[in-house]
Each structure stands twice: as structure tokens, then as C-alpha cells.
Structure 1
């Protein structure tokens, strides 16, 4: 959760519960609210018009983590148990959330495909636990894909297929929630941006659970996630900054990964591991100049990060405008671009 919930409310009709493709439009036809991070000035477009605000030499950094079907259903005796995976710890261990029923360390959950999960410890923070599975490596991943379901929250009523929770460029399995800021990109739009001279780079940050249910949110300073910034991406970021062009993160996950990889000299270096970086108001961003993201709930710690990019009063003014204009929230909703605009070229 964020340290202080922001003073706005998202009305139910603004919760996007249907993917764009099922609303009769393409992914890149969702709406786009562009904000000048310096002045707070707002502009209203569609996402396929993104290149209006990007200049030759700018760099988009995308998270190509692929979403797993992270919900597993099993039994302990006659009791039905729902497991929500959160973070891979080893080839056979995951941090996870147990839904409906309290289980103790040592208890075993029976899952389809002759798979079992034993609670072997507590997680990084409550209410997460550590699960050790009876299969490991590719066998475990295969079982997850065979029997798992994509995670969805209460505002989504339809069990959409897993491909609705993937970005078009997702390639490295590991996230339990879609890195949703990139969902609106189509290959056509990416090619259009490349033709304009806008550079594209990739990294991975495998997203963990963003909500624990019953008004419980992860502690942003303890929320550990696995990430990898490749050498090529680090070089592109550093060269972009050197050339006085802008680095635009596609998603808060990308901000977290890039800023974690900044060394003492202020440069991004190739790095992989686990990050618990908490970016909030006053945090001195060194790698990232702008951000493409969705619209976030008042309790979400993502808003703390946005307050590091843009004055919070201007941000809240923009959010009130987005509510008035009927922008849609959540992973199937509309998009928000925040960056220092300056003079258009």
C-alpha cells in the first residue's frame, strides 16, 4: 500500500473489466492522457498517437516479462485451497498467498497432475508463505501452465484467456501479474516508433502480487521482485542520457529495475538479482526521465513513484481530470504518459 491513500475515488463504471479487443477496438486504440511533468499541462489522445510526444533519439524501455497462469487450485483433505503465486525463490520453491483458510508450516496441498505443495516457511512479508513443490524446473513450469489460471481481481468478472494478460513482446516467463503498462503497444505501433528514430530496449522484472485481498497491499519497502537489466539496455540508456535525449520507462516495473541498476557514478550497469527499491516523492531519479503507465488506485504505491516524477499536486489535479473525462482504470484500461515535454521537434 501507499503510505497515504490519495483523496480520490474511482467509480465502478471506470474499472475496465474487458480487454480492448473484446470492446471492438485494437490494443493501441485505448485513450492516452499525456502530461507535461514540469507544468502539469494535459493533452488527450489515443495511444496509437504516442509518437506525437516522442522525439528522434528518445529511448523506450519495455519489460518483456511474460505472465504465468499464477492461480493454482488444490485441496487439503476436503478443503478447497487457492494458491496465488508471487515470486519464484528456486527451481522448486515459490513465495505465495493462500486464499480461504489458514494453513500452518508443514501442511501439504494436493494439486492436479500429481503435484503437491508443502508450506515450508513464511514469506518475505505477511501474509505470504513459502511453498516447496514436489516438482521442479521445467516440470513445475509445465504443471503451472497446464493447470494454472491467470490472476484477476474482483473488478474482472470474466475469466479471460491467458493471452489477454500478455504484452505482444512478452518473451521471458516469470510475472504473476501482467506488466500492464505495455499492453497497449502493438507491433505496428512499435515499428512506427522505430521508423521515427525512437529506440527500443528491453529488460525483465517479474512482477509479484500487487494486492493481497481484504484491503491488504504489499509493503513497498519490502516488496521483493526478480529483475535483469541486460548489457545492451544499460548501454542504450547511458548513451541516450549522454546525448541529452529522454529515457521513457514503460511501466513502474521498468523504473524500479533501471534505478536499482544505477551505480555510484550515476550510470546504469548490467545487473540481475532481486530489488526491493521503493521510489517515492523526493527520490532522485537518475536513469528515467518519463513514464508510460496506467491509472492507479488511491491506495497503490505506484502513485508514490509517480510523485517522484511529477509534483503531487499537479498529479492529483490530472487524476481528477482523468476521472471527469471518463478514463478507464486497471490493466485493461487507458494509458497515461508523463514526461518533460519542452518544445516539440
Structure 2
């Protein structure tokens, strides 16, 4: 794993606590730091100027998974229980984090509107469990939208509506946390990029929980997520690559999905399934040439992936400069565009 977590800390005042559009601006009026390996130092700009760093013929690949409200409040006996869904296993089963005192492993967790959930197995890793619900399919999804809430971590000091946790282009419900690298895009900005000759394509990767509370983090080597890379996206990427242009992933989820869809011959193919791919500094990218992402906390495994694009010294210098300049972290925060040298090995 990367040594970056040992080399910086994020001051509390740099935790973004509210969406830009709720502060009187628009989504794309956050800041952006550009780490271009061909340049001696980071560049700083507003995110809505991202077109300055992209070339006609480049392609942005976005994750159009839509955020669902995965947090449910219930009881087991007289004890309050909080359920945080993490990954759909089947039409009535989810991996989930259950918070609260459980008195009986086999007793039902009673949720609103007579919905019940039972712990029927372990999850992919501790402390996740497998929950089986008394309803399934569309009925279960409708229940989530009626009674569920967005995941809200301790740095967010007030609840925000589910729309605040969506990208403007998210269309396929399934993520329990927002694919936040694309949050700052507006339709106006996306259309202006298309007018410049920058292509847009989509994949789906339904994000799981990124934190298990009590200083527990997912093991990046065993963190399954459901994904799909469609044929039309593959064809667009192949065309872009054949013309010598760049594939820019909007978020670590896109990197994971695309690199998981590379066959044994190093070719990108259409695919859907469950990925457990762990991308760190040893990974050689077959598809992705650059990455747009947010700023990640020291403990997050996302930093390991960033080190596959740029040397750790470049990332560390950039992160220290971002802290000095007051960039904001987390899902409502500022953006970071990574553009490695095309010849990096």
C-alpha cells in the first residue's frame, strides 16, 4: 500500500460540510488542482475551467450509477438498530453494516411499514453481514426510497436531501455512496465540453460503503462492487485510443470498472459482474490515461490508486500544497485532475 497516509493530515476546517449550490453558487464553482507530470508544479483553477486541460478527441468516462438512500432505522426487540446497506447480492439480499446492540443473531430486525430483515450470513469482510429482507425487487427499492436516508459521516453537521448526493447524470440506482468525482459537473459544463470536441461515455459501478465506523475501513483487496461496462462505451474508447487521444476516468470507480474489463490480451471488452480489483502503484493501466477525482483522507485506499498514475512524491507535494491553499476534502469538496506522462511505465 502507499506510504501517503503517513505523510499528511487534513485539518478539520478543510472538511467540506455543504454542497456549493446550497451556498449560493453552482456545482461547478468548486476549485480544482491539476497535477500534470509534464509541468514542474501544480496548477490551480476553478473546476468550470476544466476544458482548458482537455483536448478535442479526449474522452471523459463517467459513472452514471445513481445514489440510493441506504440507511434504515429499526429495532431488534427493544434495542434501536441502524442498517447501512453496502452491496446488493440478490433481489432481497444485501451486504450491510448493522450498528447497535443485537440481542439475537437470528431474530428479525423490525423496520418501518412491517418490513423485516434477518442476518442470514457473513459479508465479504468483517463487520459486514448478509441481510435477507421480507420484500424483494421493486418493492424493496420503493421501501428504501420511502424510509431510507443518505449515508452521512461525522464531518457533515446537518442532513442534506438525497439530491445533494447525486450527480446530474446519474440514472441507474444502486450506489450507497455518491460517485462523487462527477458531482461538480453541470449539464451546461458537460455540453460545453462536448462542443469543444471532448467525448462523453458512461459505465456503471455501484459503490459500496467506504467506511465501517470505529476507525474501520474496507480492505481494498477484498471489496466487491457490482459494475457494467457497455459495448458502446468500449467502442468509443477504442476509437479514441486509435486516434492517439486520452481516456480520462471521472473517479476511481471508473478506473476500477474499466481496468476490470480488460481481457487476458490487454484489450478492453464489454463486461458486467462483480469486481474485487485492487489498483495500487504496481498497476499498469491498460485503458485509463488520466483521472479526475476528489481529495482523499489519509486512510483511504483511493490514495493507492492515485499512486498508479503519478509518483508518490508528486502526489505528496500536490496534497501538501492543496492543504496550504485551503482546498476542501470529501464528497462536497474540491477536485483534483491527474495527468501523468503518456510514456510513464
The reply on whether 1:70 has 2:64 as its aligned counterpart is no
Structure 1 match to 2:331: 331
Describe the shift of the 1:127–1:2 C-alpha distance in structure 2 as closer, same or farther (beyond 3 A).
farther
Aligned to 1:219: 219
Give the aligned partner of residue 192 of structure 1: 192
> Is contact 2:35–2:336 with CA below 8 Å preserved after alignment?
yes
Matched residue, 1:20: 20
Match of 2:108? 108
TM-score, normalising length from structure 2? Answer: 0.97
Q: Which moved more, 1:106-115 or 1:82-91?
A: 106-115
User: Take 1:167 and 1:198, find their aligned partners in 2: how far apart are those partners?
Assistant: 19
Residue 89 of structure 1 aligns to a residue in which SS? strand
Cα 1:103–1:293, aligned 2, differ >3 Å: closer, same or farther? farther
1:173 aligned partner: 173
Paired residues, number = 342
Q: Distance in 2 between matches of 1:103 and 1:284?
A: 48
Question: Does residue 47 of structure 1 match 2:47?
Answer: yes
Q: TM-score, normalised by structure 1?
A: 0.97
1:267, distance to aligned residue in structure 2 (A) = 1.7
Change (3 A) 1:71 1:2: farther
- Tell me if the contact between 1:91 and 1:137 (Cα under 8 Å) persists in the aligned partners: yes
The aligned counterpart of 2:239 is 239
5+ residue gaps, structure 1? none
* Corresponding residue for residue 86 of structure 1: 86
1:6 & 1:184 partners in 2: Cα distance? Answer: 29
Name the counterpart of 1:296: 296
Distance 2:44 2:159 in 1: 31
Measured on the aligned residues, the alpha-carbon RMSD in Å equals: 1.4
Q: Deviations over 1:129-188 (max 9, x none)?
A: 000000000000000110000111000011100000000000000000000000000000
Are the aligned partners of 2:224 and 2:276 in contact in 1 as well (CA < 8 Å)? yes
Partner of 2:270: 270
Give the SS at the match of 2:44: strand
Distance across 2 between alignment mates of 1:45 and 1:103:
53
Q: Counterparts of 1:24 and 1:260 in 2: how far apart (Å)?
A: 39
Deviates more, 1:322-331 or 1:102-111: 102-111
Q: Secondary structure at the match of 2:328?
A: coil
Q: Deviations over 1:258-282 (max 9, x none)?
A: 0000112222110000000000012
Unaligned runs of 5+ in 2: none
Instruction: Provide the secondary structure at the position in 2 that maps to 1:61.
Output: strand
Structure 1 segments (4+ residues) deviating >4 Å: 1-4
Question: Is the contact between residue 262 and residue 268 of structure 1 (CA under 8 Å) also seen in structure 2?
Answer: yes
SS of match in other structure, 2:307: helix
Q: CA deviation at 1:39?
A: 4.7
Q: Which one is further off, 199-208 or 35-44? A: 35-44
| CA shift in 2, pair 1:184/1:256, >3 Å | same
How far apart, CA to CA, are the structure 1 residues paired with 2:59 and 2:176?
A: 26
Q: CA deviation at 1:113?
A: 1.3
Contact 1:2 1:300 in 2 (8 A): no
Q: Deviations over 1:206-226 (max 9, x none)?
A: 000000011100000000000
